[in-house]
């Protein structure tokens, strides 16, 4: 049976992204050097078109149920494409500054986003794997994009080695599932497990564990988090921003989809495991972040801690938990992209100024950038009227719904610990006198301005009118 | 839109306005805004002038977030009325006090001061628990910057400590609020209280105690109750004058207000069970605070520890569960706001002259600045609790209420009154009496007109509160009677305002996803 037009339409965002990516690679080869400034606008155009296509696509399945466009998928598709747009805005100047204004950066970024789109709408384990590979391979290259910088090389190599290892786990888990149930479609897997007479619960548990290990790496859950600080610190700042939100959001999307849909019936078996992972992730992330002096490294540990909060919502394994995780990931994406954009701006050529102490007196030299950074940090702390606050609120609410009292209490206390290291940046920016590092700050370029202001605005809007997104996310039914 | 909404949002509008006006105008703008807020807040007195309504006045209840149902539900009662007025009254004074003291990053400073007012007013008028939490945290941020940027040498340590203590306490309160929501389907304080009181929401005594503790710790940190008080002296010593004034006079009252308004009425059984150890901590705080104040070489630290002592009285009054105790507690909250606020203002004046907070740097100031000495002496006497001045009424009532609850409490707490006379009078003696040193005669001049303008309203209120307590008392008494009644009659019918499903769906949380299915 040939795919029908509506089925293709459900795949339209991915097609637009692929075409844009290939077009950029093609133009890279034929355009003269002077005209290469069009790549950024072109990428934005392609991503924006894909976003519109994703936002308006009809619910339903495509290609023999391999893809499913539902509330959940649409939400995440729009989210990862949005992250892509913000990443393009925040990296265009960075590339000029580092003298590498190549088109391949944008092409890779777009391919990575495309892979994430496939992941979040995949309804089938093989599709999930394919999407994950497309996204990851592009990300590995992005992490080492400045190939003459040793830090970039280290980052890319670590990311690649550990990433492929983890993908192996995932694939192994998938093959177990296929061996046990004979299917790879998530709903059919669920159906098989639910069928009376199914007796391989222990084997299904092993498969779930293998898949969790694979995805745990992608979301940097403890104890699979060790790569994250090195990679985020070494990669170019805009790439770190992208890696810490885009692939992570997509990985969480498939984690939720696999565990709530396929492994929903054996939730009793995996929740204790995820419970302890969530707690360990929060603790490792927060306590390690306390000690950091490099801001990129600190944000890396902070992103580990935030993954821990989202895992709390996964542990709740309910639709409210899924909605809370969706809201949280959206709020976190805006906040973190914004924070990294400020870091990108401040680091300047060659990323010289990435120590936290370098931010001394930023509020006096660039009051607007400091004010925006304040919004992002307050959101990361979880102060009311920012998106981060409602994210935490919904997550802990869903956890209490699921009677996870201890996890809630420990999570809340963790977020108080986290306040310390975020406050430290505020202290440095506002309460220390400016030093050598904040002299001769260049004006903020257009792209960065857009990225920073748009993220800050989004963070505040989510903090004042969270219903805008939550009402949509609450329609999610993962069964 | 009621007057109350206006009073709440004027500071927010003012704050946004201050971000865009030129730097030179920021002092004037802050003064204008804060005076306008104060003028508007006077209109809030109208319903309480001739009558003593027991319910809420100026109530607004509109939906803010659909799901979970969070409402912008605000209203005023006899308790919050005076605390709102205290905030709006002290903000212009804080602006005047900072007029010359703040010389760098002026615009940001005054903007934060106005934003602080917004948060404080919001805390005192929120009826929706979620809204309450939002304002509770929001008030923290401007104070964090006020101490951290414009404070003294160890300001960063002090401000981070202040933020973390409060934050650690309040996250548990957030957990408790979410738990209550999951059980009842609403954040509305009235509805939740009625559900608990009527037995529709049956809490096991263990759950009630845990919830009580979650709220209690958040408030006790803010009060601050011994042994959670250690952030306070640091924050006070390092804060700029206006920061100390707002912190001592209004922010600490957020804690005692929360205890009286939320913690005790929501969980009366747990509150009764905890009363012995809470009172023990309060009395320890009273005596410990006073003793430590006695040996402080630093003026601000002395006043800060005196706050620990005074606030101990407030907690003792609340946990005596008697009409007098509660009335006295509220009265001390207000009187302490005026008297200690004035003390911090005066200490700030001294600091601006001599640039030292060490008591030993002074001596003989009465010769150099006689008017300052007179004003300081009146404030000292008010703080000690001399009859006819503000604190006396409250302390007397608290001791009476405590004596009704347990006579030993009153005996122990009365020691604190005596000790307060010791440390305050000794402080006065060391600063103002004796022969002025060279540096004192050289630097310390008498009050300027601007300083008179800041201190006179405070002095007037000290006399007024001490002599005409009937101006303030009826509204407070009426409200406290309601609270006591709520505590002692655990069974009450659910009011009509309760949402339909609140009683029926105590178990399954309502969700938008169900409707969508």
Task: Please write the tens of the pLDDT for every residue from A319-338.
Answer: 889 999 999 999 999 999 99
Phi-psi region of A318 (alpha: psi -120 to 50; beta: other; left: phi over 0): beta
pLDDT tens digits, one per residue of B418-472: 898 899 999 898 888 888 888 777 777 888 888 888 899 999 999 998 888 888 8
Q: B121 or B369: which carries more pLDDT confidence?
A: B121
- C-alpha closest to that of B44 among B124, B131, B129: B124
Tell me whether residues B174 and A471 touch, CB distance under 8 A.
no
A382-386, A431-435, B313-317: which range is least confident on average? Answer: A431-435
Q: Does B492 or B317 have the greater pLDDT score?
A: B317
Q: Does A423 touch chain B (CB under 8 A)?
A: yes
pLDDT in tens, A220-273: 988 888 889 999 988 888 999 999 999 999 999 999 999 988 888 888 888 899
Q: Is the pLDDT of residue B159 over 90?
A: no
pLDDT band at B26 (very low <50, low <70, confident <90, very high): confident
Mean pLDDT of chain B: 85
Q: Which two tokens stand for residue B373?
A: 């000495």
Average pLDDT, chain A: 89
Residue A18 pLDDT: 94
Query: Any chain A CB within 8 A of the CB of B166?
Result: no
Instruction: Indicate the DSSP class of residue A263.
Output: S
Q: Are A122 and A134 in contact (CB under 8 A)?
A: no
The chain B residue lying nearest A368, using CA atoms, is B19
> Whose CA is closest to A257, among A73, A126, A401, A63?
A73
d(CA A141, CA A137): 7
Predicted confidence (pLDDT) at residue B516 exceeds the cutoff of 80 = no
CA A332 distance to own-chain centroid? 8
Per-residue pLDDT at B386: 86
Q: Of A78-82, A164-168, B34-38, B447-451, where does mean pLDDT reach its minimum?
A: B447-451
Instruction: Tell which phi-psi region holds residue A361, choosing left (phi > 0), alpha (psi between -120 and 50) or beta.
Output: left
- Residue contact A431–B181, C-beta within 8 A: no
Residue A457: both structure tokens together: 């605005």
Q: Is A223 on the interface with B (CB under 8 A)?
A: no
Report chain B residues whose CB lies below 8 A from the CB of A378: 141
Residue B53 exposed, middle or buried by CB count within 10 Å (0-12, 13-18, 19+): middle
The predicted pLDDT at position B489 comes to 53
Nearest-neighbour CA in chain B from A427: distance (Å):
7
Contacts of A26 (CB under 8 A, 6+ apart): none
Residue B316: enclosing H or E segment and its boundaries? helix B299-318
Distance CA B239, CA A75 (A): 46
At A149, give phi and psi (nearest 5°). Answer: -90, 120
Put simply, whether A357 touches B (Cβ < 8 Å) is: no
The rounded distance, in Å, linking the Cα atoms of B366 and B349 is 14
CB A354 within 8 A of CB A232: no
Which pLDDT band, with edges at 50, 70 and 90, does A22 fall under? very high
Per-residue pLDDT of B46-105, as tens digits, reads: 888 877 777 888 888 888 887 788 888 888 888 888 899 999 999 999 998 888 877 788
pLDDT score for A350? 77
Model pTM? 0.86
- Considering CB atoms only, which of B67, B133, B167 is closest to A470? B67
A-proximal residues of B, 167-196, CB under 8 Å: 167-168, 171-172, 174-175, 178-179, 181-182
Model confidence at B495, pLDDT cuts 50, 70, 90, reads: very low
Reported as type and span, the H/E element at residue B233 is helix B231-238
pLDDT bin (cut points 50, 70, 90) of residue A479 is low
Structure tokens at B311: 């606030």
Task: Report the gap between the CA of A75 and the closest CA in chain B (Å).
Answer: 15
Cα–Cα distances in angstroms (integers) from residue A323 to residues A318, A379, A478, B26, in the given order:
9, 19, 10, 44
Q: What is the pLDDT of residues A201-212, one digit of tens each?
A: 888 889 999 999
Q: Are B436 and B364 in contact (CB under 8 A)?
A: yes
Q: Using CA atoms in the order A424, A426, A429, A430, what is the torsion angle rounded to 10 degrees?
A: -120
- Asked if the C-beta of A384 comes within 8 angstroms of chain B's C-beta atoms, the answer is yes
Tell me if A437 sits within 8 A of A358, measured CB to CB: yes
Interface membership of B148 toward A (CB under 8 Å): yes
State the pLDDT at residue B514: 42
Q: Which residues of B touch A477 (CB under 8 A)?
A: 513, 516-517
Q: What is the pLDDT of residue A299?
A: 92
Q: Flag whether residue B485 sits within 8 Å of chain A, measured between CB atoms.
A: no
- For A366-375, write each residue's pLDDT tens digit: 888 888 999 9
Neighbours of A237 (CB within 10 A): 25
pLDDT tens across B176-208, in order?
998 888 888 888 888 888 888 887 888 888 888
- pLDDT surpassing 50 at residue B411: yes
Instruction: Tell me the C-alpha distance between B237 and B247, whole Å.
Output: 11
Average pLDDT over residues B259-287: 89
Query: Taking phi first (over 0 means left), then psi (-120 to 50 degrees means alpha), and beta for anything else, what does residue A65 get?
Result: left
Rounded Cα distance, B393 and A85, in Å:
64
- Secondary element (H or E) of residue A62: strand A60-62
Mean pLDDT of B233-256: 89
| Cβ atoms of residues B152 and B145 within 8 Å | no
Instruction: Tell me which H or E stretch contains B75.
Output: strand B70-76
């Amino acid at each position: 049976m040939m795919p029908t037009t509506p089925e293709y339409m459900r795949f339209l965002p991915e097609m637009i992204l692929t075409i844009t990516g290939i077009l950029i690679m093609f133009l890279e080869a034929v355009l003269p050097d002077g005209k290469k400034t069009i790549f950024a606008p072109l990428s934005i155009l392609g991503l924006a078109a894909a976003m519109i296509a994703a936002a308006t696509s009809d619910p339903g399945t495509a290609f023999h149920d391999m893809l499913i466009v539902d509330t959940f998928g649409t939400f995440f598709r729009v989210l990862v494409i949005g992250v892509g747009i913000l990443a393009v805005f925040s990296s265009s100047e960075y590339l000029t500054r580092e003298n590498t204004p190549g088109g391949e950066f944008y092409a890779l970024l777009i391919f990575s986003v495309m892979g994430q789109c496939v992941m979040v709408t995949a309804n089938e384990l093989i599709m999930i794997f394919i999407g994950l590979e497309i996204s990851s391979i592009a990300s590995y290259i992005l992490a080492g994009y400045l190939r003459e910088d040793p830090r970039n090389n280290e980052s890319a190599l670590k990311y690649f080695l550990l990433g492929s290892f983890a993908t192996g786990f995932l694939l192994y888990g998938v093959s177990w599932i296929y061996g046990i149930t004979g299917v790879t479609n998530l709903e059919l897997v669920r159906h098989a497990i639910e069928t009376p007479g199914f007796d391989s619960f222990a084997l299904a548990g092993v498969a779930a564990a293998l898949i969790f290990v694979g995805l745990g790496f992608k979301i940097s859950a403890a104890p699979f988090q060790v790569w994250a600080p090195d990679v985020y610190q070494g990669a170019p700042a805009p790439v770190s921003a992208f890696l810490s939100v885009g692939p992570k959001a997509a990985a969480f999307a498939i984690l939720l989809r696999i565990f709530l849909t396929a492994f929903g019936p054996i939730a009793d078996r995996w929740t204790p495991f995820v419970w302890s992972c969530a707690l360990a992730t929060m603790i490792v992330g927060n306590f390690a972040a306390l000690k950091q002096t490099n801001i990129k490294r600190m944000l890396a540990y902070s992103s580990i801690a935030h993954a821990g909060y989202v895992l709390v919502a996964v542990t709740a394994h309910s639709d409210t938990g899924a909605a809370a995780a969706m809201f949280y990931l959206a709020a976190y994406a805006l906040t973190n992209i914004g924070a990294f954009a400020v870091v990108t701006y401040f680091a300047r050529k060659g990323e010289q100024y990435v120590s936290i102490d370098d931010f001394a007196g930023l509020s006096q030299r660039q009051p607007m950038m400091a004010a925006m950074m304040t919004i992002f940090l307050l959101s990361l702390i979880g102060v009311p009227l920012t998106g981060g606050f409602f994210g935490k609120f919904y997550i802990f609410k869903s956890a209490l719904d699921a009677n996870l009292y201890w996890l809630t209490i420990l999570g809340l206390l963790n977020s108080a610990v986290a306040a310390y290291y975020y406050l430290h940046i505020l202290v440095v920016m506002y309460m220390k006198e400016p030093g050598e590092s904040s002299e001769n700050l260049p004006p903020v370029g257009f792209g960065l301005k857009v990225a920073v202001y748009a993220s800050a605005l989004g963070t505040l809007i989510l903090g004042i009118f969270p219903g805008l997104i939550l009402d949509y996310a609450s329609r999610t039914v993962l069964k | 839109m009621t007057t109350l909404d206006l009073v709440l949002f004027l500071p927010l509008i003012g704050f946004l306005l201050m971000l865009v006006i030129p730097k030179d105008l920021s002092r004037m703008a802050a003064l204008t805004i804060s005076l306008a807020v104060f003028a508007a807040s006077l209109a809030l007195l109208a319903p309480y002038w001739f009558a003593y309504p027991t319910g809420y006045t100026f109530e607004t209840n509109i939906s803010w977030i659909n799901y979970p149902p969070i409402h912008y539900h605000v209203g005023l009662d006899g308790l919050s009325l005076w605390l709102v007025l205290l905030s709006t009254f002290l903000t212009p004074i804080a602006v005047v006090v900072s007029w010359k003291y703040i010389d760098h990053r002026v615009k940001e400073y005054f903007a934060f001061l106005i934003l602080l007012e917004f948060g404080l007013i919001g805390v005192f008028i929120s009826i929706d628990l979620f809204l309450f939490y939002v304002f509770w945290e929001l008030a923290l941020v401007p104070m964090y910057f006020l101490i951290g940027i414009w404070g003294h040498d160890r300001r960063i340590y002090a401000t981070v400590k202040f933020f973390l203590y409060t934050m650690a306490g309040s996250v548990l309160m957030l957990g408790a609020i979410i738990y209550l929501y999951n059980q009842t389907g609403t954040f509305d304080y009235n509805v939740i209280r009625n559900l608990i009181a009527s037995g529709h929401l049956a809490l096991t005594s263990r759950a009630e105690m845990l919830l009580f503790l979650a709220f209690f710790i958040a408030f006790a940190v803010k009060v601050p109750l011994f042994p959670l008080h250690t952030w306070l002296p640091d924050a006070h010593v390092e804060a700029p004058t206006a920061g100390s004034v707002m912190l001592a006079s209004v922010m600490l009252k957020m804690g005692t207000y929360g205890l009286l308004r939320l913690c005790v009425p929501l969980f009366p059984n747990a509150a009764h069970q905890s009363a012995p150890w809470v009172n023990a901590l309060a009395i320890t705080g009273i005596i410990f605070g006073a003793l430590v104040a006695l040996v402080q070489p630093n003026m601000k630290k002395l006043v800060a520890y005196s706050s620990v002592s005074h606030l101990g009285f407030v907690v003792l009054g609340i946990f005596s569960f008697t009409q007098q105790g509660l009335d006295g507690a509220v009265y001390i909250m207000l009187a302490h706001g005026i008297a200690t606020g004035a003390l911090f203002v005066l200490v700030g004046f001294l600091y601006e002259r001599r640039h030292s907070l060490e008591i030993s740097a002074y001596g003989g100031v009465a010769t150099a600045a006689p008017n300052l000495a007179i004003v300081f002496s009146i404030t000292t006497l008010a703080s000690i609790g001399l009859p006819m001045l503000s604190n006396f009424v409250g302390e007397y009532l608290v001791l009476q209420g405590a004596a009704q609850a347990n006579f030993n409490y009153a005996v122990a707490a009365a020691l604190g009154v005596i000790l307060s006379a010791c440390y305050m009078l000794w402080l006065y003696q060391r600063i103002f009496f004796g022969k002025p040193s060279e540096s004192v005669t050289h630097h310390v001049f008498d009050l300027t007109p601007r300083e008179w303008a800041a201190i006179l309203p405070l002095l007037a209120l000290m006399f007024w509160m001490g002599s005409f307590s009937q101006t303030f008392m009826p509204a407070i008494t009426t409200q406290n009677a309601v609270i006591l009644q709520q505590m002692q009659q655990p069974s009450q019918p659910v009011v009509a305002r309760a949402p339909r499903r609140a009683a029926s769906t105590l178990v399954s949380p309502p969700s938008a996803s169900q409707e969508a299915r």
